[in-house]
């Protein structure tokens, strides 16, 4: 779609100029949010960050309120899997007053990954700063930059007096980084998005527009041993040593899984890095723990990992593959005693690449960011999948993440200022440029 196809092209210039004019204030808002640690686990300061943002949306004329996950649901669907979680599961819901416009949901999450070992950071993760064209701090790219963009995009629309082409419904929610049941999932289940026609997520890759994602689950295999003093280790059963055939079979399964491909294309960054054209499933062994002292044969060895599965795969079949690997390992080593546990994470989803609204999104993103982006799938997993599957809404995802650059989930996280401003423009365009489909 050409620039001339937009009826409100003059307003796009106004928006772009206003966003650039508020550059310092937008950056300062992001840094203010970063200064409120919202690490999960445990899920700290959720209420604090929501209460900080509620007045901003009320001042814009929204009915803004907390939409907390009920405690019983939290205990049943999240904390039972992660006992370290604690605190209120606060979320922000802001709905614009009823008008005759179609509803558009604007989403981002407010929680972050833990900072982890601070000695691995070159700066304090919750003392953000600007340098070399980036805002640095935990949560800048994933995903408080997106929350900042939603607020400022709508604020600029209000300040410019531009007519809305949609009725915005803003969902800034929590627990996305850990799941398995999050604020936005609860909103979908309670009908918050019933009046919406589209769903736009500002939590995603910066170099593509995602319209699908892998699902995922977490697996744990507990290998039982017989603990004795190491001086008489021949009287015990060392679970670490007996894990060898199990690891061998898991790696065989990993290689088999890695050959599969989805119909969903992969993001440009991932394509350049890995040479793949489409998203793929993965089986990972990511954690191993055992032992209390070097001279004691441990009583147990625990292996853990995750399985990301493409929309075309069945979750039950994916679990069965791991069960088959365990069975083969037991056949090779009759003394191997182990059991498998599976914890849910997120389901997969895939929207139709031919959905006309996505062409509208591509055109707006090209204007907002200055270059065209392709439709793709996420190799990772997202709670937005539940929204897509429950509501049937077309879901588009475009954010500030550039895995090789922004260090999401790693020390020294940062986001490009240009990406922050680009998403802010995109929110304003979505709110004001009519979709003629």
Condensed to tens digits (0 to 9), the pLDDT of residues 254-266 reads 999 999 999 999 9
Residue 313 phi, psi (nearest 5)? -95, 155
Q: Answer yes or no: are the C-beta atoms of 60 and 158 closer than 8 Å.
A: yes
- Encoded tokens for 342: 């599976």
232 has a pLDDT exceeding 80: yes
What band does 273 get if pLDDT is binned at 50, 70 and 90?
confident
Q: Tell me the pTM.
A: 0.94
Residue among 406, 433, 436 nearest 418 (CA): 406
SS3 sequence, 382-422?
Answer: CCHHHHHHHHCCCEEECCCECHHHHCCCCCCCEEEHHHHHH
**Domains of the chain with CATH codes:** 3-213+348-432 (3.40.630.10), 215-344 (3.30.70.360)
DSSP state of 368: H
- The edge-to-edge listing of strands for the beta sheet with 300-309 is 282-290, 300-309, 215-224, 338-344
Q: For 92-107, what is the mean pLDDT?
A: 95
Distance CA 88, CA 94 (A): 19
Query: Would you state the pLDDT for residue 10?
Result: 66
Residues 6 or more apart in contact with residue 358 via CB below 8 angstroms: 209, 211, 351, 375, 394, 396
DSSP state of 114: -
Q: Answer yes or no: are the C-beta atoms of 144 and 34 closer than 8 Å.
A: yes
Q: For 86-111, what is the mean pLDDT?
A: 96
- Encoded tokens for 271: 């394509």
2 has a pLDDT exceeding 60: no
3-class SS of residue 229: strand
Query: Would you state the pLDDT for residue 210?
Result: 97
Distance of CA 140 to the CA centre of its chain: 13
Condensed to tens digits (0 to 9), the pLDDT of residues 323-369 reads 999 999 999 999 999 999 999 999 999 999 999 999 999 999 999 99
Query: Would you state the pLDDT for residue 1?
Result: 33
Q: Count the alpha carbons within 13 Å of 4 in the hemisphere toward its beta carbon.
A: 0
Condensed to tens digits (0 to 9), the pLDDT of residues 199-224 reads 999 999 999 999 999 999 999 999 99
Query: Would you state the pLDDT for residue 5?
Result: 39
- Residue 7 or 150, more confident: 150
The Cα-based distances of 39 to 87, 384, 401 in angstroms read 12, 20, 18
Provide the H-helix boundaries in 9-94: 9-21, 23-34, 46-59, 71-74
Condensed to tens digits (0 to 9), the pLDDT of residues 394-427 reads 999 999 999 789 999 999 999 999 999 999 999 9
Query: Would you state the pLDDT for residue 7?
Result: 47
Distance CA 182, CA 391 (A): 16
Q: Answer yes or no: are the C-beta atoms of 365 and 398 closer than 8 Å.
A: yes
The helices-and-strands tally (H runs, E runs) of the chain is 13, 16
Q: Answer yes or no: are the C-beta atoms of 3 and 424 closer than 8 Å.
A: no
Query: Would you state the pLDDT for residue 3?
Result: 35
Residues 6 or more apart in contact with residue 45 via CB below 8 angstroms: 36, 37, 38, 87
Q: For 117-140, what is the mean pLDDT?
A: 98
Condensed to tens digits (0 to 9), the pLDDT of residues 8-27 reads 456 899 999 999 999 999 99
Condensed to tens digits (0 to 9), the pLDDT of residues 21-64 reads 999 999 999 999 999 999 999 999 999 999 999 999 999 999 99
Q: For 266-289, what is the mean pLDDT?
A: 90
Provide the H-helix boundaries in 219-279: 244-257, 268-274
- The edge-to-edge listing of strands for the beta sheet with 414-416 is 129-131, 134-136, 414-416
């Amino acid at each position: 779609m050409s620039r001339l196809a937009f009826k409100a092209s003059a307003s796009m210039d106004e928006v772009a100029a206003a966003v650039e004019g508020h550059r310092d204030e937008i950056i300062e808002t992001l840094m203010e949010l970063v200064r409120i640690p919202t690490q999960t686990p445990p899920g700290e300061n959720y209420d604090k960050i929501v209460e900080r943002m509620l007045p901003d949306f009320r001042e814009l004329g929204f009915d803004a309120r907390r939409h907390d996950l009920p405690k019983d649901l939290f205990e049943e669907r999240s904390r039972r899997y992660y006992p370290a979680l604690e605190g209120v599961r606060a979320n922000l819901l802001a709905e614009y007053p009823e008008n005759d416009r179609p509803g558009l949901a604007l989403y981002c999450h407010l929680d972050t990954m833990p900072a982890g070992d601070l000695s691995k950071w070159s700066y304090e993760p919750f003392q953000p700063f600007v340098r070399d064209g980036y805002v640095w701090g935990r949560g800048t790219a994933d995903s408080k930059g997106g929350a900042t963009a939603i607020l400022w995009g709508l604020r600029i629309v209000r300040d410019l007096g531009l007519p809305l082409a949609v009725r915005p419904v803003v969902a800034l929610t929590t627990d996305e980084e850990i799941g398995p049941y999050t604020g936005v999932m609860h909103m979908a289940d309670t009908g918050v998005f019933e009046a919406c026609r589209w769903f736009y997520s500002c939590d995603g890759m910066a170099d593509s527009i995602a319209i699908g994602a892998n699902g995922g689950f977490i697996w744990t295999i507990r290998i039982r041993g017989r603990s004795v003093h190491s001086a008489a280790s021949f009287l015990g059963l060392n679970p670490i040593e007996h894990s060898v055939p199990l690891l061998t079979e898991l790696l065989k399964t990993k290689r088999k899984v890695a050959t599969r491909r989805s119909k969903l294309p992969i993001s440009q960054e991932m394509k350049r890095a890995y040479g793949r054209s489409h998203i793929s499933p993965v089986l990972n062994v990511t954690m191993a723990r055992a032992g209390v002292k070097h001279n004691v044969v441990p009583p147990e060895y625990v292996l853990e990992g995750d399985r990301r599965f493409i929309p075309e795969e069945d979750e039950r079949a994916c679990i069965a593959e791991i069960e088959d690997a365990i069975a083969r390992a037991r056949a090779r080593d009759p003394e191997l005693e182990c059991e498998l546990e599976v914890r849910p994470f997120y389901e997969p989803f895939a929207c139709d690449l031919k959905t006309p609204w996505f062409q509208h999104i591509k055109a707006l993103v090209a204007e907002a960011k200055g270059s065209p982006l392709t439709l793709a799938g996420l190799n990772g997993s997202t709670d937005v999948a539940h929204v897509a599957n429950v509501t049937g809404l077309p879901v588009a995802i475009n954010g500030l993440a550039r895995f090789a650059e922004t260090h999401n989930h790693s020390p020294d996280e940062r986001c490009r200022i240009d990406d922050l401003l680009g998403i802010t423009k995109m929110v304003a365009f979505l709110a004001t440029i009519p979709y003629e489909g």
